[in-house]
A = this chain, B = another copy of it.
């Protein structure tokens, strides 16, 4: 017999039909006269399906009345119109097959649990309402990412995870090795002999797929990556993960204006998908996790983002009369307090800030004619801050070489990247978005460890 998913039953309300549902018991309530109500969840949606089980079932006393929270079962029965207000339908059980009882120490009992505690049972937390909702929203966002780019003719390119490069000349990296650390091979000079490591050289986990992505954009036109990236930074904050997923589109023949246009369209597209497809999940999160979540998402998709150069932003901040902990000054980076003032007080909407001073930007960002600023952009969102960073890339070989020299990078380490400028160079641009920051934005969750299935942070690599 076909298994029906709870979400479909709620959608179709097939009253009178015989169905079969599998799931886990959330609660059991026994009434008088040999009646019990089981709330069943199968993960397909937030709402539980109510099942009415009674003494006519052959295992009513022996099994059904022993079903505790977390038990798994299959119910066969008839869909009936519900008496309650909560839902339109329920199931009158004709057969209850128990797959597995949950032993009494099942940690997820009916009461609400703190997120800190749930993090210690990361293998069970997806069975809670909140983490079920986060997982479904994360899924919607993933699909919307692919959908956005695919429908616009971008090709998905899986850039490498293990790399011998350091994409930004910065960022602490994890080393990857098969050397036996207890018997490290040495060169005659006493150095570690990496020619005997798996790849014959020292290798690390990637911090960005951008440089490799550029090689494909310069052949296929529009591409994007969507894969894991890594930072070995000792950051114990609610915004940092050592392992996180990143989305990096790259577009040949595009300038920064087009880049900003695509970034804005992209962000609105994926948020709209959640608003449309995860209404129940959003209602839960709006009620119990972050009041005003839905409204803040609706605000992002409602109107155009503001555009402003870094220089204009500094002027606004200087004239604001606002007292900042760090006064805003041309040439220094914007602090969170500055970004919040701009998006939450001054503009009251997202803003795309462009043309930052070259001194604190990456070597590959295209130098402006003023020689002081570069064609980069940050997309800032109220409450969250920077969610997207991008730039037009430096396509002029001579300027790029100069910038690399300033940054202390050796051209011979970037030959493949320089080749893109030697052979048919073209304007191109792209951006990067930390996927978990996006999930934070769309779920209202407060800690980034709670929006990725199994978070990796300093001192934590469980499961």
Contacts and interface: CB of A to CB of B under 8 A. Distances in A.
A274 to B, nearest CB: 14
A99 B220 CA distance: 16
A201 B460 CA distance: 9
Contact of A199 (B70, B161, B219, B459): B459
B423 A70 contact: yes
Contacts of A360: none
Contact of A22 (B156, B199, B426): B426
Interface stretch (A123-131, A284-292, A347-355): A123-131
Give this chain's copy count: 2
Interface string A214-257: 01101111000001101010000000001101000000110000
A76 to B, nearest CB: 13
A352 to B, nearest CB: 21
Contacts of A454: 159-160, 212
Contacts of A150: 139, 143
A210 interface: no
Contact of A461 (B138, B162, B218, B395): B162
A456 B197 CA distance: 13
Contact of A216 (B126, B142, B416): B126
A158 B228 contact: yes
Contact of A174 (B5, B146, B176, B184): B176
A417 B124 CA distance: 10
Contacts of A42: 221, 252
Contacts of A422: 102-103, 106
A126 B220 contact: yes
Interface string A41-82: 011100000000000000000000000001110100000000
A230 B178 CA distance: 12
A200 B460 CA distance: 7
A425 B100 contact: yes
A124 B100 CA distance: 56
Contacts of A176: 174-176, 205
Contacts of A424: 24-25, 70-72, 99-102, 106
A177 interface: yes
Contact of A146 (B7, B146, B212): B146
Given A100-B424, A181-B184, A463 B126 contact: no
A327 interface: no
Contacts of A178: 172, 174-175, 232
Contact of A221 (B5, B71, B155, B230): B5
- Which of A24, A131, A253 has the most C-beta atoms of chain B within 10 angstroms of its own C-beta? A253
Contacts of A302: none
A3 interface: yes
Nearest to A125: B219
Contact of A161 (B203, B228, B417, B425): B228
Interface string A145-183: 010001001011111111111000000101111110110
A337 interface: no
A226 B72 CA distance: 27
A198 interface: yes
A456 B219 contact: no
Given A71-B424, A155-B136, A220-B126, A201 B100 contact: no
A312 interface: no
A181 B174 contact: no
Nearest to A164: B461
Contacts of A398: none
A462 B453 CA distance: 31
A401 interface: no
Contacts of A421: 100
A16 B142 CA distance: 40
Rank and list the top 8 A-B pairs by shortest CB-CB distance, nearest first. A100-B425, A43-B220, A126-B219, A199-B461, A72-B424, A123-B416, A22-B253, A123-B215
Given A135-B157, A136-B220, A161-B205, 16 more contacts: A22-B426, A70-B423, A72-B426, A99-B426, A100-B421, A100-B426, A106-B424, A122-B215, A139-B150, A139-B157, A161-B230, A177-B181, A182-B192, A199-B458, A199-B461, A200-B461
